[in-house]
Chains A and B, each alone.
Chain A
Amino acid sequence: MANSTTPLREIGTELAPAPPGHEHGTLTAWIQDLVFTVDHKKLGFLYIGMAWVFFIAGGILASLIRLQLAVPNNHVLDAETFNGAFTMHGTAMIFFFAMPMVFGLANYIVPLQIGARDMAFPRLNAFSLWTTFFGGCFLFLSYVAGPGLYGTGAAPDASWFAIAPLTSRAFSPGNNIDFWSLGILISGVGSITGGVNIMVTIFCYRCKGMTLYRMPLFTWLVLVTMFLVVMFLPPLSAAQIMLVLERFFGAKFFEAQAGGSPVLWQHFFWIFGHPEVYILVLPAFGVISEVIPVFSRKPIFGYPMMVAATVMIGFISAGVWAHHMFTIGMDSFSVTFFAFATFVIAIPTGIKIFNWLGTMYGGKLRMEIPMLFCIAFLFQFLIAGLTGIMLGCAPFDWQLNDSYFVIAHFHYVIVGGIVFAVFAGFYYWFPKATGRLLNTRLGLWHFWVFTIGFHLTFDPQHFLGFLGMPRRIYTYQEGRGWEFLNMLSTIGAITQGVGALIFIINMIWSARKGKIAGDDPWDAWTLEWTTSSPPPDYNFEEIPEVRSRRPLWDLKHPEDPDWKFE
């Protein structure tokens, strides 16, 4: 345990037994174990492993896109392939990287943080995972469909939100769109069942003494996230069912010729789509809310307000969807209302940023790798939020919507925010999950290369938006003023790829050769650090009983426990 004079890095280097289960036996036994497991930790690994695989796929697609756009009138990808590339990039990254990552982290960490032995419904958990995985495979199967690998396959090519009526049979005659709708419908079932599972676990399986107000913030944020999942994934499924009925059975939902309305598709999609981005970002907030306090050596500033702000964000996120539709020609009352709601949601979000700052103030900041990623997150998420406010101002959005400014904004949120938070979470919890610390040297390389690459990629894109470059174009003409910025962006994308590669190397290397971490390498305070690294199958020898939000702090500081002050 943290005996003050020992720097954090030294803790845990005393001889620790090899983590249990380290001997895998035969390969087939190992595979069989993974395929049939219902243990939340192994399922967490599977989710996360799946997420990284799709991340790489999405990253390759992104690199191709950036290569094509590096210079005007380029010929790396033709129009059809390009349209498929960005559609698949977006779809894969959101549904098969980000969502599984959320579920993976939640699966692994939440039971440990609430002192439970597993999820409420372990078999349903496995079902959710494999359903999601199957959906992802189905989606990528599209590349071998249609004209097959010799052609461009039949990858969906109507953008990740499948704009009607481009998606109707008349305008998309092949099966591309069907891979999209069916792949996501299938994985949607996985997501919804996973959401139910996690919610029940959090409500019913907390250990003794852990009231909702004593839960770690990561768990709180996951709870609100799962509420959003079960409420707002169904609209997507419903809309996709309608699309499938339209494409296969001639139903008339979005067809203009039958009097249908393509605008309705947009409403349905964005009613899902906006809460979806909060589904992705709230767990990221959760990670940040765990890492910053530990590395500032102070509790989170204003825990009740953080919870309140999160719940508010959850509620308001249901009411901002049409800010994606400012240019479709809504009446000015609706436009004003949604602009208003978008501005309002910035308030609880801003409060969270202030609370994180408040946590750092007066602390003793340890600039370890997790903290570095958190700091980058704070800067980048701040910028992302501010560009979001710019987009929330409807007239400004009339210029910037569907331009590269929007791409810059949401990549700042998703990459600059969520991916950075995921990295922070990895460096923080990898030692718990594997028993070994991630290598610091490689970590620093990873951090700097990826951060520089990130900024080089997306900072210029804001200006491309200012200069009138629209989204989803496979090429552009000379003389528009876009050449230099696009080239910068492409160089940045390659750099980011290198950074991500360094991370993957770090993970693989450290899993075998990393420094032994011990139970509690960071001197942290939540329940997962009370058990061994990695935890045994049953998680805890004895289910703990807690009296405050930081049970380990109470144990380590019996003279100054939290429950005296909370």
Chain B
Amino acid sequence: MLNHLHTKYSRTMRGSGRGWLLLGFTVAAFIGFLSSAPVARAQDSTIRAIQNIFDPLSAPAETIYYVSVLVMVVCAGIFVVVGGLLVYAIIRYRRRGPEDDHEEPPQVYGSAAIELAWTVPPILIVVMLVLVTARTIGEIEHHKMPDAAEEIRVIGHRYWWEVRYPKHDVVTANEIHVPLSTRTNRVPTEMILESADVIHGFWVPQLNGKTMLVPNYRNTMWIEPYATGIYLGNCTVLCGQQHANMLIRVVVDTPEVYQKWLESQKQASVSDPQVAEGQQQFISNSCGTCHHIEDARGATGVFGPDLTHFSSRATLGSGVATNDDQHLRSWLMNPQDLKPGCLMPNMQLSSKQVDSILAYLRTLK
């Protein structure tokens, strides 16, 4: 374990060069938008869009990386040997021409010695692979969580992610914030995965392998990121029409920034008189029957994402669009335009209603 952390610093430096096509693009508007929040954010806004499994940035992903490389090297070796023999055979034993037809080659039926010779090495390779695999499985699945570990519950819905922080009484959706883990201050995050409807899958390659979210079944996985940034991921198990747009955003913050974020999430939603009209529209149009907003009377629904700090999130619709006014307006007019098949129906709002609700939602930071 410590071994991995020892290399992680050099890894982070090398990681950005090691990735395949690394298009990191900073979203300046995003930073500007966040800075208007009541909390100062010095967040690393590097979007890690290229999720290469061979560029791990978290302890379990790195463990998998090492065993993967070993397996690939073994396989490459086998390919070179067997492929080479095949190429050799094709060249060496080709029929040269009609002159080759006058006699059949020696009719060899087999050879027990040769059979044995090529059975034993594969058995040995298999033994080695099994041992390595078993050890890696144990290393990841039976990892002991330190007491300081963060804990989150992720509940999969069609087509969004409910995220709960039991230790802090925080509830949010789609955007998952976790603390950075360093050698001196190890803070892995344990994730409990459940599902409210069908089977989903959680995958952020640079953080760990994937695990399914199965209804009536509790899974756990853990991550221990050692590089800040915004990690993108996907739902990996077909869950219906908008499976492709059930995107994951894991925001890894330094502990200070993370604490600040937690604080901001614990605050009650703002009750700004300027948007009272919007809040009222929200309730009277039954938005509250699906969506929960802390301290807003009538907004107690749990069917849809919690919106208490909706405007603190970078995207809407679990990643289908950026959370700017244009997209939000489109969503409110008809969510089926941006995400056809998602479970929020067209609420048939007028343009004026949309404007006032939008203004209200923008205060929910």
Contact = CB atoms under 8 A, between A and B. Distances in A.
Contacts of B13: none
Contact of A163 (B82, B219, B237): B237
Contacts of B71: 389-390, 393, 396
Contact of B216 (A171, A261, A484): A261
Contacts of B203: 402-403, 468, 470
Given A262-B199, A481-B20, A332 B138 contact: yes
B119 interface: yes
Contacts of B110: 301-305, 358
Given A347-B119, A480-B50, A5 B64 contact: no
Contacts of B211: 327, 329, 398
A339 B93 contact: no
Contacts of B193: 329
Interface residues of B, number: 98
Nearest to A158: B238
Interface string A110-144: 00000000000000000000000000000000000
A467 B130 contact: no
B232 interface: yes
Given A378-B86, A479-B25, A560 B107 contact: yes
A148 B71 CA distance: 49
A466 B216 CA distance: 31
B90 interface: yes
B72 interface: yes
Given A163-B238, A362-B108, A375 B199 contact: no
Interface residues of A toward B: which range? 35 or more
B129 to A, nearest CB: 5
A390 B114 CA distance: 27
A470 B233 CA distance: 9
Interface string B18-31: 00110101000000
A535 B199 CA distance: 53
A163 B198 contact: yes
Interface string A3-15: 0110100000000
Given A263-B214, A395-B64, A480-B51, A470 B234 contact: yes
A474 interface: yes
Given A302-B111, A347-B119, A468 B52 contact: yes
A347 B123 contact: yes
Nearest to B77: A386
Interface in A307-340: 327-329, 332, 335-336, 339-340
B15 to A, nearest CB: 14
Contacts of A350: 118, 122
A389 B50 contact: no
Contact of B67 (A163, A362, A396, A560): A396
A264 to B, nearest CB: 11
Nearest to A306: B110
A401 B209 CA distance: 9
Interface string B101-130: 111111111110011001100110010011
Interface string B124-154: 0010011011101110111000000000000
A230 interface: no
Given A327-B210, A476-B244, A78 B340 contact: yes
A343 interface: yes
B197 interface: yes
A211 interface: no
A78 B102 CA distance: 62
Contacts of B82: 353-354, 357, 382
A207 interface: no
Contact of B142 (A79, A164, A332, A466): A332
B17 interface: no
Contact of B208 (A392, A398, A479): A398
B137 A394 contact: yes
Given A165-B199, A396-B64, A402-B237, A344 B126 contact: yes
A560 B106 CA distance: 11
Nearest to B211: A327
Interface stretch (A238-246, A278-286, A363-371): A363-371
B308 interface: no
Interface in B70-115: 71-72, 74-75, 78-79, 82-83, 85-86, 89-90, 93-95, 98, 100-111, 114-115
A351 interface: yes
B126 A403 contact: no
B118 A351 contact: yes
A537 interface: no
Nearest to A402: B236
Contacts of B247: 477
B87 to A, nearest CB: 9
Contacts of B232: 480
Contact of A171 (B98, B197, B234): B197
B216 A260 contact: yes
A165 B215 contact: yes
A282 B193 CA distance: 39
A36 interface: no
B209 A346 contact: no
B54 interface: yes
A297 interface: yes
Contact of A466 (B54, B74, B98): B54
Given A296-B93, A364-B95, A395-B67, A402 B210 contact: yes
Interface in A152-190: 158-159, 163-166, 171
B243 A473 contact: yes
B341 interface: yes
Interface string A381-407: 011001101101111111111110000
Contact of A364 (B63, B86, B93, B136): B93
A468 B51 contact: yes
B130 A339 contact: yes
A468 B93 contact: no
A171 B240 CA distance: 8
B126 to A, nearest CB: 5
B68 interface: yes
B122 to A, nearest CB: 5
A481 B21 contact: yes
B353 interface: no
Contacts of B64: 395-396, 398-399
B126 A343 contact: yes
Contact of B75 (A262, A361, A390, A468): A390
Contacts of B115: 302, 305, 351, 355
B212 interface: yes
B296 interface: no
Contacts of A78: 340
Contacts of B106: 298, 362
A539 B115 CA distance: 37
A362 B93 contact: yes
A303 B64 CA distance: 40
Contacts of A357: 82, 85-86, 89
Nearest to A261: B216
Contact of A399 (B20, B50, B89, B205): B205
Nearest to A483: B21
Nearest to A170: B197
27 contacts: A80-B341, A158-B238, A164-B199, A171-B198, A257-B216, A297-B105, A299-B108, A301-B109, A301-B111, A302-B109, A303-B109, A305-B115, A329-B211, A332-B137, A347-B126, A360-B90, A364-B93, A365-B95, A382-B82, A387-B75, A394-B136, A467-B50, A467-B53, A473-B243, A479-B23, A480-B49, A481-B49
The 9 A-B pairs at the shortest CB distance, nearest first, are namely A398-B209, A473-B244, A468-B51, A256-B215, A256-B216, A302-B110, A329-B219, A386-B75, A402-B236
Given A398-B140, A399-B210, A466-B54, 14 more contacts: A158-B238, A163-B238, A303-B109, A332-B137, A332-B141, A343-B133, A347-B123, A364-B100, A395-B67, A399-B61, A399-B68, A467-B53, A471-B238, A565-B107
